[in-house]
Amino acid sequence: MTPPAVTVEKNYVPEFKATKTVPISTESATAWESFKFDHIRESTVSRAMTKRYFADLDKYAESDVVIIGAGSCGLSAAYVLAKSRPDLKIAIVEAGVAPGGGAWLGGQLFSAMVMRKPAQKFLDEVGVPYEEEDTYVVVKHAALFTSTLLSKVLLFPNVKLFNATTVEDLITRVDPVSGELRVAGVVTNWTLVSMHHDDQSCMDPNTINAPVVLSTTGHDGPFGAFSVKRLVSMTAIEKLGGMRGLDMKAAEDVIVKRTREVVPGLIVGGMELSEVDGANRMGPTFGAMALSGEHAAEVVLQVFDERKKQNAY
Ligand code: 48N
């Protein structure tokens, strides 16, 4: 049955009837009536932020370790390093405003995060609850893992996260004796600036010196695999193996096992490593990221003293 045609006169403007706001209860109204923040002036807020940020830039201009990329691998490495070596100054440089990389969701935007055993030991260490299955565990929401790990990392007094900041080059040295190229820090810029180098006049970068750099910038993509691609373009390594197809079992073991110092001063972990070695990708399982981070932290400590000596000048 067709509904009766409704005729609307031309230029009809429906009269806007303000809906009555729901009256707040008198009780809560009185309680809030006298509420008042302490006094502030805008410049106070500005100084509170900038004073701290520029003090951090000054302090971390010479860092002991720079971690490029605050994804699951970089954050896991930062946690292990900061906890085991409170004497080290650790700068994390993350291109995104929001750290965490690809670890805010499981696969195909599903929330749950799967980690194969024995990665649950890292979850126990960080304090992330999970549901146990036979050969794997499930964190009910990937954001629970990433936010818990991130909050723990940011609580360490020897860690500074520079987010919304891109590493757009590496600081290098040529060893006077061996002639070997060594990485000795990173070149940074605001990410928004980095994205506009081709349509603005030169906007020069800043730097962070460090005897050891850990690159965990993920597999290829607009920002991915940054350091290893840069090593190729500066002919420090010949070519990239290129990430292979998905093979969960093959990929995870290899990424954890082969996390290593690719050139003196530059350690690579996580999915960036798959681009170096031509390793398979593992898809939506994250145990290898956590344990590659753990392994990367150990490699940093193995090479640190030697690199620090070489890095003296
Ligand atoms: O999460 P990602 O991309 O990298 P990883 O290695 O920590 O974790 C990889 C993991 O999320 C997977 O890809 C999973 C397991 N899937 C596998 C598969 O088969 O698909 O984090 C990298 C971080 C990001 O936050 C980037 O924003 C950041 O690195 N980043 C940079 N930060 C600063 N400067 C740069 N040049 C830069 N490039 C990337």
- Residue among 219, 244, 286, 291 to mutate when testing ligand 1 (max atoms within 8 A of CB): 219
Q: Given this model, what pLDDT does residue 9 score?
A: 75
Strand partners, 207: 187
The residue among 158, 160, 187 whose CA lies nearest residue 171 is 187
> Whose alpha carbon is nearest atom 11 of ligand 1?
102
Q: Given this model, what pLDDT does residue 152 score?
A: 98
- Residue among 105, 115, 122, 216 to mutate when testing ligand 1 (max atoms within 8 A of CB): 216
Characterise 14 by phi-psi region: left (phi > 0), alpha (psi -120 to 50), beta (else).
beta
**Distance from Cα 311 to the centre of ligand 1, integer Å:** 28
Whether this prediction's pTM lies above 0.95 is answered by no
CA 128 – CA 133 distance, rounded (Å)? 16
C-beta of 218 in contact with ligand 1 (< 6 A)? yes
- Residue among 266, 289, 292 to mutate when testing ligand 1 (max atoms within 8 A of CB): 289
Rg of the chain over Cα atoms, rounded to whole angstroms, equals: 25
Q: Mean pLDDT, 10 residues at a time, over the chain (313 residues)?
A: 72 76 75 94 98 98 98 98 98 97 95 98 98 98 98 98 97 91 97 91 94 96 89 95 95 97 98 96 97 98 96 77
**Token pair 């195909």 is at which residue?**
108
**Distance from Cα 224 to the centre of ligand 1, integer Å:** 6
